[in-house]
Structure 1
Amino acid sequence: MQIALLGPVEIRAADRAVDAGPRQQRHVLAVLAAEAGRPVTVDQLVDRVWDEAPSGARQTLQVYLTRLRRLLARAAPGGAAPALVRRSGGYVLDIEPERVDLLRFRDLLDRARGRSDREQAELLRSALELWAGEPLAGLPGGWAERMRRAWRRQHLDALVTWADLELRCGNAGAVLGPLTEAVGEFPLVEPLSAALMRALHRAGRTADALACYAELRHRLAEELGADPSPEVRETYRAILRADAPDGARVVRRPARRVPAQLPVDTAGFVARGRELARLTAALDGAGEGATATTVLVLSGTAGVGKTALAVHWAHRVRDRFPDGQLHVNLRGFDRTGDPMDSAAAVRVFLGALGVPAEGVPVEPDEATALYRTLLADRRVLIVVDNARDAAQARPLLPGATGCLVLVTSRDDLAGLVAAEGARPVHVGLFGPDEARQLLARRLGAPRVAAEPEAVEEIVARCAGLPLALTVVAARAATKPEFPLVRFADQLRAGRLDALAAGDPVADVRTVFSWSYRWLSPAAARLFRLLGLSPGPDVAAPAAASLAGLPAGPAHRLLAELTQAHLVTEHRPGRFHLHDLLRAYAAELTAGHDTDADRAAAVHRLLDHYLHTGDVAAVLVEPHRERAVRTPPRPGVLPEPLTDERAALDWFTAEHQMLLAAVRLAVDAGSDRHAWQLARVLAGPLDNQGRWPDLVAVAQLAIEATRRLDEPAEQARAQRFLGRAYAALRRYADAEAAYRSALELYARLGDTGGRAGVHFALACLAESRQRWAAMHEHAAQTLRLYTDAGYEPGIGRALNLLGWVRALARDFDESLRHCHQALALQEKLGDRVGQAATWDSIGYVHHHRGEHECAVDCYERALALYRRCGDRYNEADVLAHLGDTHRAAGRHDAARAAWSLAEQIFDDLGNARAEAVRARLADPDPVEVPPPDAP
């Protein structure tokens, strides 16, 4: 069986074309086949199949994937069918490369390299014969058009190379037809015309070769207003000399773009030719005989442009790394915040490589091992920016020889050079010519040329520091009517003479202060206070709260700071400060603002995150208890979140800032903010599978509540910690945390708190398949909630006992407990409790074979969970509902329920998606028995 992409998208079996289905289904097949053997995420599939995805696109995609699995199985009976499987990171078409014409074409090109002319020609001829017309014929959209353009370029390169090889072998007649046809289709592709000219001349048709040149020159002049390229002109002259050249061409595989994390290249990048050449030479020399990852270290002083150089060069060589590019900012010299822990950076990279959060090992050494395993057979470019020392960067080095790591640091990272054989590249200050180039690029060559003395003064005062030059140029660019001499005079007045004394870092403050003094008083105050922000960036409402300002004035001040290049709006509504500027802002606020003003600003910022997060958490989980009951202090501007989607988006955008805010609260001595923020974060971190982060914030909350001597909140934080450990399958640690909570509640005489811990211990026992312990904790839960008189807890405990009896197949007793629970929950209006109980009752009816009753119960549970916004349990019930529909013979209804469950589990990054996908992949109704419980 073969899959064709280099023409109409087809499945071919036994020399016949198999109908691959409607156009969009063929589009899905084309995307998967083009990336055969590599995972394609659901988001990538949706983006590549639909330029503007309709509502329900994910559900439609699941239908196409299911149909394609069956189609591939029918097209290649006898076990020879390729597998369409779900793996970590996305869907994978597991098929031998030679069975996809595109991949076979690329393989033949690769195999041709380094062989004799005759062998190369034969291999390239075989590759060209795979083409059957326009690739991806009939498929619309941006992805298909981009692929067509890229593949056509590769095809034309291969055609020209093959033609030149045949000419060297004396077979001019063999290439005339294909080249003439190609020139007719692509009349402006000059290498084709040059190859045809050589072939015509070798075939004794020199007059036709010269006519071909004349026609090309005429077309270029008429349509592009251009002359033929030097290659074509040299071919023409060689023909006139009766000495046609034998040019060889290099055929390259197009670069892959997943992951593609490189930041945007610097607009107007100038100079650095020597450093760029050294980087490229190091890369070129790292291929043959390499036994370790190539590591390059860019080191230099702050503000010298290391990051800009690294990103620019990475963009230049990205096509040499077909498996993608990774990027992380380790914030190693961030003076107003903690550097990123290397273990956290490894988790970020694992996520980019397709590992769900819950699949990341909690132990740093295990996570690093997984990271290196994933890169073992890939060619990936990894940019590690702003490393503090070798120890911080070392865990990010893969073991694969095909990868390259580019590290930037203010330190020379001698440890990496000595131990890992890293190649150092020093990034120095700009010379006068390079400085003038930067100013000319930013301000325009005529303006710079008109005032040479002022330019020389600016260059001298900035002492070759690119960051200082950029700040000056930005200010001058915003005042095009001002002469440059005015800026030179202001720099001179700022006493930048020390820049020439060899310490540019110390006196770049003078450049910043010059820009700072142009700010309005309100903008200057906001800039100073931004130095107190703990994270890598800040959203506009958080900045407004920090300064105690309404939204409108805050936006205007942020725009003023952006225009002055003191902050960068790197995403709409989110602002970033270069670490030197953040350090400068922190120094300013320490020297200009009182301790009380700074403390008030920090507390407003913490209130912003706390009150916005509290609302967001309730929107995501409406049944949860509020973490804070007092209003925010004056001047705080919580974000106006209105629905669950907005709340989830906010948690995603502010994830790093919220984690940093908990640490800021501890450092600021605001332990109450620390444990309240931890309570806000606990639910979202749990629902999103960010359990290592939940461990970290729970531990901070435990420390804070101990200092405050608030044992009730300490017990709650211990429960958070237990939940995170349980999800990470660190069951002994989870039990220890729960036991600590239990002891605290016992000392407090909090019977309800003890009951809640026993409920958690029962769930933990179920995970460990300790059925007797599960039953004991469930009974304790009911007894303690009854003693406490807490009716919602009684209802949930009754359901828990019903679930225990259901797992033990004691269905009559299970229903007795569950119906008691349901009656109480309906009286109390406990929607979450009712949903869980209906799910338990549905489970009993399902295993009794009472499918209609089970469906009714599951649909009731589903409606309640949806009202509560509990997506995990919504997906859980959908999976159960699908099982019941399948047992009842309703396969279409089962697939619909499973598809929705899979989508939600995928959105949550939960590993249960795999189990649901296994159901979707298996068309046969196989009943899964309940666990072997007592």
Structure 2
Amino acid sequence: MEELLDLRVLGPLQVLLNGREIPSGGPRQRAVLAMLLLSPDQVVSIDSLTEAVWQGCPPATSKTQIAICIASLRKNFKAAGCHDELITTTAPGYMLRSGRHRIDAREFKEHLARARQAAQRNDAAEAAELFKTALGMWRGPALDGIASHPVQARAAELEEQRLIGYEQHTALRLELGEHRTLIGELRTLVAQHPLREQARSHLMLAQYRSGRRAEAMETFRLGRRRSIDELGLEPGQALHDLHDAILRDDPALLAPPATARPAAASVVPAQLPADIVAFTGRRAELSALDTLLDEDAGAREGMPVGFLTGGAGVGKTALAIRWAHRSADRCADGQLYADMRGHERGGRSTGTCAVLDRFLRALGVPGDRVPESFDERVALYRTTLANRRVLIVLDNVQEFSQITPLLPGSGRSAVVVTGNDQLGELSETCAPVRLNLAPLSPDEATTLLVKIVGDTRVTDDPEATARLGQLCDRLPLTLRIVAAKLRAKPHWPVRHLVRRLEDPQQRLDELSHGDRDLRHRLRLSYQQLDETAARLYRSLGLLDLSEFTSAIAASVLKVCPVEAENVVERLVDAHLLHVARWHDTGNAVYRFQDLHRLYAQERACAKEGEHGKRLPEQRLCEDLSISADRLLSA
């Protein structure tokens, strides 16, 4: 008899066989197993597993130790009585072959899909039961106890799916007249997630239908105060409309019969992430993006697409989301959003075929009508969009091939793409509004700090505040990190944080707070480099020069100036260097941002060790027979 495993990630990691738990090893083995379970039947690269275990600081023996972890897991499964080849070696990494084994996350998603299909058929009772089954699979926070940033990032995606499923389940239960029984659990949910407006609106409606009109008003008031205090934003229009309807005792608020549900074709997707707290600046860029929705945009030669590019932490995603939110009312047929994960290595980029499936369902196509064939999905997607005005945000795109099938073939929809790569192919098929984002201005950096810190420390010491902005390279990401630290430490003056950041050995460590981590973002860009560009990047970071030309790069690489310029320009394209100006000799002068230089130095030390730290600079001086002060003019 075949022994089937029960593989659980919707709570603490568990592997069961006939109800008996199989040991999954120590923290390293558990992190590796979690990564494999999060991508069943897909190759997970050794690089991705290494990142999950050591999070940017792997030992030289990391590949060997990953292999030992895999061998240990295989041994545990076999000893417990599972003789399937569950984990296979498949270049460039390993794959968990699920076969008929049960994975709770996969079953959860399948039940969610069936529940949504039942809801589209107007079968509220069946849909509610399927949602209940799906949500009942959760035993606690996904992969609770595994302290790995990549694992927890993926676990957060599962948690978001759970919350969305719960909100959809709640809407059906309200429709079925369960408003009195829902009040208690909705209060708990709103207390845990006070900024989720859908949950708050459900609680208000349940309270109103239960004859608790005053409580519904108080629920709105508390939510509005929380939103203004924490985000600086009024609640969304839908919550305000519900508030006003309750004040009017609108008869439409009474529970409708389940048969009154709108048909699936009327579904208007609203997939945008929450708007960005304390967004600052970018007025010119917002105005440029507004042209995507001009009446004549569809008449231009090529599909109008906004493309936002720039270095790590410069705020590409924030700008895209802010513009999408403020433009949503100009796209009456909804908003679609996909994080393509192009910045992640090891085959973890979001599959375009899966995004098509999700987009089609969001646009009202029943699940049983979504084609299996990739080409047929593309054709149906473009047909569905042909007569609609939808706003589509494609975030973190690495290659043009990821998004080609997601671009509408015609019509009045707008598309915004973010990514580090130049995506030159966009100009061949689209009419891109291309924006290369720069750091904020000094005044904008100060304004952002004031908005988030929320007290007078920033304005009381303008000199320290200006220095704080400089140490953060005036990047929105790093400014938000230091602002969050100041807000969490109300007894810290700005100068204290400045002193901590002025130590170059500690600055990148300081610029980490919660799920924001500049070093992690820089590492993702660095990992995309070819070996020659990576070597040049490390070597240039060691030079005691603020600026340099391709001639200096040629001396480092021992190649001709033209070849060296090509390598330097690859670093510019990756946004790890930028062009400071043109030299009198007709050549570009390049410059590091300070934080990029610090990271380049870290990579050099990690790669070459302390013994070789001065070697590139010494070789330059020997080759050119000039002092470091005159290198730039050579």
Scaled by the length of structure 1, the TM-score of the pair is 0.34
Question: If each structure's helix is expressed as a fraction of its own residues, which one has the higher value?
Answer: 1
Instruction: Compare CA radii of gyration and give the structure with the larger one.
Output: 1
Question: If each structure's strand is expressed as a fraction of its own residues, which one has the higher value?
Answer: 2
Q: Tell me: higher relative CO, structure 1 or 2? Use CA pairs within 8 A at least 6 residues apart.
A: 2
